[in-house]
């Protein structure tokens, strides 16, 4: 269930590098991250794997600070009836619950995720922890993740310095890095997320079952 892709750029420094394009406001990315982590925990060469989380925006046009609910945003974006969106949310929440995630779409606030992605680029070895905290803040705790002070609080919760993060968000720090990720996504013809690429050679799209991610890791390791 994995696809062979050809990508010219090289990623070095580890035996196996997995790059993941995802968006903080994407429930399937949250589910995919959880399933991938479960597969990685089972992978016998886990210590050889470097995971890089890359930026993607499903709704880059979302106004910062608008404060609409995810329900209102999707009704407008997809032209669906509210009851249809609620049914969709319920289905996703049930799938998430199967991997231990509690998604509360009733309180989820639509947000522009550009600053959150900037912060992820600036998080260093706290990147994965910060991504997990951002997912939980958005989908479980009803936090407004395009509010910079909220982003500071989330960053502090994973051990980052408040003053440093506040100054970074007030500047253009890592904006070019986010744009580079978005450009690479277009180059690689990524049309949906999550999107997993191992060693710039083998790709898997979507929140696949744990066994598919284990297969991805195994195939990439064998061909490294």
pTM, two decimals, is 0.92
Strand partners, 22: 55
**What is the total residue count of the chain?**
224
Give the β-pairing of 202-205 and 195-198: antiparallel
CA atoms within 13 A on the CB side of 87: 5
Where does the pLDDT of residue 14 fall: very low under 50, low under 70, confident under 90, or very high at 90 and above? low
The SS3 call for residue 185 is helix
Query: Are the beta carbons of 38 and 210 closer than 8 angstroms?
Result: yes
Is 3-60+114-223 in CATH node 3.40.30.10? yes
**At residue 9, does pLDDT exceed 50?**
no
Mean predicted confidence (pLDDT) in 90-111: 97
- Residue % of the chain over a pLDDT of 90: 90
**Centroid of chain to Cα 212:** 18
Q: What is d(CA 17, CA 40) in angstroms, rounded to the nearest whole number? A: 12
- Residue % of the chain over a pLDDT of 70: 94
Domain ranges of the chain: 3-60+114-223
Give per-residue pLDDT as tens, 157-201: 999 999 999 999 999 999 999 999 999 999 999 989 999 999 999
């Amino acid at each position: 269930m994995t696809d062979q892709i050809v990508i010219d750029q090289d990623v070095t420094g580890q035996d196996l590098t997995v790059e993941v394009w995802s968006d903080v406001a994407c429930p399937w990315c949250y589910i995919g991250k959880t399933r991938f982590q479960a597969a990685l925990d089972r992978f016998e060469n886990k210590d050889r794997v470097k995971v890089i989380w890359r930026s993607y925006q499903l709704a880059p046009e979302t106004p910062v600070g608008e404060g609409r609910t995810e329900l209102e945003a999707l009704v407008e974006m997809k032209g669906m009836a509210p009851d249809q969106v609620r049914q969709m949310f319920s289905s996703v929440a049930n799938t998430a619950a199967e991997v231990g995630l509690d998604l509360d779409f009733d309180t989820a606030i639509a947000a522009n995720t550009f600053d959150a992605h900037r912060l992820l680029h600036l998080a260093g070895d706290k990147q994965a922890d910060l991504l997990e905290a951002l997912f939980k803040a958005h989908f479980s705790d009803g936090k407004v993740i395009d509010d910079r002070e909220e982003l500071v609080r989330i960053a502090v919760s994973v051990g980052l310095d408040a003053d440093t993060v506040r100054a970074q968000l007030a500047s253009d720090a890592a904006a070019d890095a986010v744009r580079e990720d978005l450009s690479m996504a277009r180059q690689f013809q990524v049309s949906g997320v999550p999107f997993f690429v191992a060693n710039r050679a083998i790709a898997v799209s979507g929140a696949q079952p744990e066994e598919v991610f284990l297969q991805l890791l195994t195939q990439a390791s064998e061909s490294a």
